[in-house]
């Protein structure tokens, strides 16, 4: 395979890995192969693609016909990186999957900017909490029925949904979803407190229906080589856009905590949407992925919420995916970026420089027993492959290669 000198990231073989693979690309990322010519890893990725519209059905309408420029750019990046298993955050959900079908057939299956088409025969998507009315005035603005009053912020059911694309089959009988788990049922939940009254921000009647997940949490078992890997995906709410009660920051913290408890075997309290209780079985392999809206160094997350996963003994977090352009763009954009303490090469989100700055909020985190051979963040410098296409979203794709 032809390579140039542009390298998204070479992840070093840490003590637990024992080898080094450089994943570089020209129009596509290099695909390491074994002596028989077979790919010897599985590439997992997450990408918040901002396929959301304030009107129900708007995304499907935009995708129809294959001419939506944003979708062409997103497809270009996917074709360039070629993940085997890919979580797409912010893809509006429709029960007929019209938008997903259009994206697969009219964008991914069509060559974009010289890249080879790519197919995903297996798709998983399901309902999310965004846009489902709660019946209560959740943000206390003396109105009900607004986007802020939904079980997850959204103007219509399914806005900001999730989709997983895969070239490997899901074990659908073992899939678990946690859309309906109630926040109050998490022991020690960081439920918001009204600062003035020092009482619960949410009334008892609200807590009886209020769900923890702002979208959903999915456990998707996938066969990788000779074993099952649980792809644990979610999209916690941003820890902002609230008041002194910090209801979004606290919810973000506990949405992240759900997966931390789940993989540590500390989730006896948890029940899925079928009523099955408990977390992941001991010794099960997993990958936590998604736009988790929490940076380990900067931003407004509660108590550095992401550290619940990064410091979890079951999670392999010593490697950190990097980009070639994150540092360049942080320097060029300035503003809040100059005040951040995190490494800009690790950034995955490009946000307003005057008051937020770029952050690391998108993650692909394997369990300790999986062998990482390469990883990267797709944020090129000007002139590098994909440099124009990345403007399709304010997030950057993150990928990790796991040895079969």
**pLDDT tens by residue, 137-173:** 999 999 999 999 999 999 999 999 999 999 999 999 9
- Least confidently predicted of 10-14, 104-108, 203-207, 245-249: 10-14
**Geometric angle at alpha carbon 193, from 260 and 302, rounded to 5°:** 40
Q: 268-291, pLDDT tens digit by residue?
A: 999 999 999 999 999 999 999 999
Residue 384 DSSP one-character state: S
Q: 75-130, pLDDT tens digit by residue?
A: 999 999 999 999 999 999 999 999 999 999 999 999 999 999 999 999 999 999 99
pLDDT, residue 351, reads 97
Residues of the chain with pLDDT > 90, as a percent, come to 90
Cβ pair 236, 292 in contact under 8 A: yes
pLDDT, residue 225, reads 86
Q: Side by side, which strands form the sheet with 227-234?
A: 176-177, 217-224, 227-234, 285-291, 362-366
263 versus 21: the higher-pLDDT residue is: 263
Q: 34-67, pLDDT tens digit by residue?
A: 445 568 999 999 999 999 999 999 999 999 999 9
pLDDT, residue 234, reads 98
pLDDT, residue 19, reads 30
Q: Which residue has the tokens 């209020």?
A: 210
Distances (CA, A) of 243 to 139, 143, 235, 247: 9, 17, 21, 7
What distance lies between CA 24 and its chain's CA centroid? 23
Its pTM stands at: 0.92
pLDDT, residue 107, reads 98
pLDDT, residue 39, reads 81
pLDDT score of 380 more than 60:
yes
**7-403 adopts what CATH topology?**
Deoxyribonuclease I; Chain A (3.60.10)
Q: Which of 351, 344, 353 is nearest to 326 (CA)?
A: 344
Residue 106 DSSP one-character state: I
Cβ pair 292, 234 in contact under 8 A: yes
Hey, where are the domains in the chain? 7-403
Q: Which residue has the tokens 């796991």?
A: 402
pLDDT score of 339 more than 80:
yes
Cβ pair 297, 342 in contact under 8 A: yes
Q: 208-267, pLDDT tens digit by residue?
A: 999 999 999 999 999 998 899 999 999 999 999 999 999 999 999 999 999 999 999 999
pLDDT, residue 37, reads 53
């Amino acid at each position: 395979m032809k390579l140039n000198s542009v390298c998204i990231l070479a992840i070093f073989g840490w003590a637990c890995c024992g080898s080094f693979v450089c994943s570089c690309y020209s129009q596509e990322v290099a695909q390491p192969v074994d002596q028989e010519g077979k790919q010897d890893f599985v590439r997992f990725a997450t990408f918040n693609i901002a396929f959301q519209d304030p009107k129900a059905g708007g995304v499907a309408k935009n995708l129809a016909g294959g001419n939506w420029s944003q979708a062409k750019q997103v497809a270009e990046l996917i074709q360039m990186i070629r993940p085997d298993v890919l979580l797409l955050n912010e893809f509006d959900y429709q029960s007929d999957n019209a938008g997903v079908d259009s994206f697969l057939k009219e964008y991914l299956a069509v060559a974009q900017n010289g890249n080879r088409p790519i197919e995903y025969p297996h798709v998983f998507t399901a309902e999310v909490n965004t846009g489902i009315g709660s019946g209560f005035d959740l943000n206390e603005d003396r109105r009900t029925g607004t986007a802020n009053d939904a079980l997850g912020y959204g103007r219509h059911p399914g806005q900001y949904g999730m989709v997983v694309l895969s070239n490997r089959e899901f074990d659908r009988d073992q899939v678990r979803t946690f859309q309906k788990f109630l926040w109050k049922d998490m022991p020690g939940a960081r439920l918001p407190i009204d600062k003035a009254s020092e009482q619960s921000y949410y009334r008892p009647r609200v807590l009886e229906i209020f769900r923890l997940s702002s979208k959903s949490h999915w456990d998707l078992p996938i066969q990788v080589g000779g074993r099952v890997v649980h792809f644990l995906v979610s999209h916690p709410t941003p820890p902002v856009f609230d008041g002194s009660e910090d209801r979004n920051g606290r919810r973000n913290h506990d949405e992240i905590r759900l997966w931390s408890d789940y993989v540590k075997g500390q989730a006896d309290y948890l029940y899925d949407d079928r009523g099955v209780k408990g977390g992941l079985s001991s010794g099960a392999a997993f990958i936590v992925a998604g736009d988790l809206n929490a940076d380990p160094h900067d931003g407004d997350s509660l108590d550095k919420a992401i550290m619940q996963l990064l410091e979890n003994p079951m999670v392999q977090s010593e490697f950190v995916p990097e980009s070639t352009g994150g540092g360049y763009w942080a320097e060029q954009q300035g503003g809040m970026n100059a005040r951040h303490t995190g490494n800009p090469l690790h950034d995955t989100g490009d946000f307003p420089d005057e008051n937020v700055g770029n952050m690391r909020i998108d993650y692909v985190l394997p369990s300790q027993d999986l062998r990482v051979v390469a990883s990267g963040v797709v944020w090129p410098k000007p002139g590098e492959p994909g440099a124009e296409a990345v403007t399709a979203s304010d997030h950057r794709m993150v990928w990790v290669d796991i040895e079969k």
